[in-house]
Structure 1
């Protein structure tokens, strides 16, 4: 049995470690606040999207961004790349796209009768996969390797992708003609699914005043570097997660699989719940949220704030749920309201 003095010593050591970590995090999270400031020179009213992009950047987690055309999704990603001073590629996904158009191919050189690898646009740091659900299965499969393994295979040769590597994919929720539903395996690889909504009236007025000009180029200055991002990731790994918060995270994911075990009546509404990847991603996202807030420990509110974006694309609803006009988002919100916060 552990003596009270030993427990007190352990608690004091933990408290001191968190204190030092918080001081270091406050210093190293400051460049990411500057990123927000630079991006806001261009964007209006997309604070949530920018915040989620930073979380993905800090945790090596890809983002699926859903929203109607004209909400500055492309501008947001391009602005983020400029603020980090890193490479950016925009890929327009179409039904006739080939894997070679994405990852590259081998090119024959007649002068020495050999094949050389010509790398594709996937070899960049930030990739905007525009209208990802328009690409056929073979392209999705090629993209899956890059997302999960962070490498690309061309002609039997494997090439690692340079860090930071982040895919931000967009899809249009309105126009479904000529689209391919994302396979569940690929959808699960996206850490977050962010739904971008219309700006409110004040934001719309601000957009009008700022952007209704023939020349609207706004210079974005690089305020951080890939090296600072890599160091921030090491700090995020050290952020403290209390056992109560860990159990809260596990409960949230478990409810999506067996809601009746938690006293929640969702009978016949959920086809598939969140995978263990949901648990991992929810923990990482909560840590990144704490980092951006300048804290060395995770609060339950960090988990609750990010949970919908982590779970909405991992909870597959049944036909019965659709008949009752119940979406995965409404079910996740019901779960968040039901599970007690520690």
Structure 2
């Protein structure tokens, strides 16, 4: 994506800018001369750099507004001083006045403050105009560098967030990701008045697998299991590695009955086909599953929902493992038995 520049100024101001800004090749430039339109544009698609014509109505308000927007603090704002009174005061009172006005402009929200010389004025020499353009381009370069560093930082943060929320062994979302996603799903389900169910599953006698074949084989079993889970879930279902050999699956728009159907299918695809580790080693494993559906009285963080599903999982393991238990159903593999609780 190209670096974007928003110019808050009139056409006569644009005409005084260096050709590198007027005819850009390395970035895109958009011109707006209305404060409300500029604010709307910034809120919808924030630019990387803003060039502000000080004499335009709303220029100081725009700088002050930007300063108050924490989420827009990455935008580099360059204020071009072209107001006649300020230029007159500068010429009359000298460097002290210039410093005072520069400080005031920076306090109002500008990141850079440039005394802008107008080419049409005959009292400016070519050398002065050239130096002025050089300063503008130098500040623009600073803004471009800041914008690029910010983009690199965002990309790095996105990568680190993905790493932080992903289980490195199974490549599923991890427990931290569940703690972030579950409240979001609950809020959406309550707002939209849709159903939300949850499955907790655990590999039966997994310690025996590790003790018999070693932890490397155990890790491979976890990877193969996760592949089967992913292949047999709906596109909107989200699996998480909750810890060790325990997994959680969020089922959006799924009722109690639908959650049981999904859990039964997962139980069957795991138990019916052995896991092949090599030409000489295949291992049969089974899983126990507990399901629960969101209730109106459940807390927004999902603790009560998780607890109900976990209690069902404990019942499944106590009842003999290799089965699904929900709040309203008990499903046993290979023979399905359904009873109301």
What TM-score does the superposition give when structure 1 sets the normalisation length?
A: 0.23
Q: Which has the larger radius of gyration?
A: 2
Structure scoring higher RCO (CA < 8 A, sep ≥ 6) equals 1
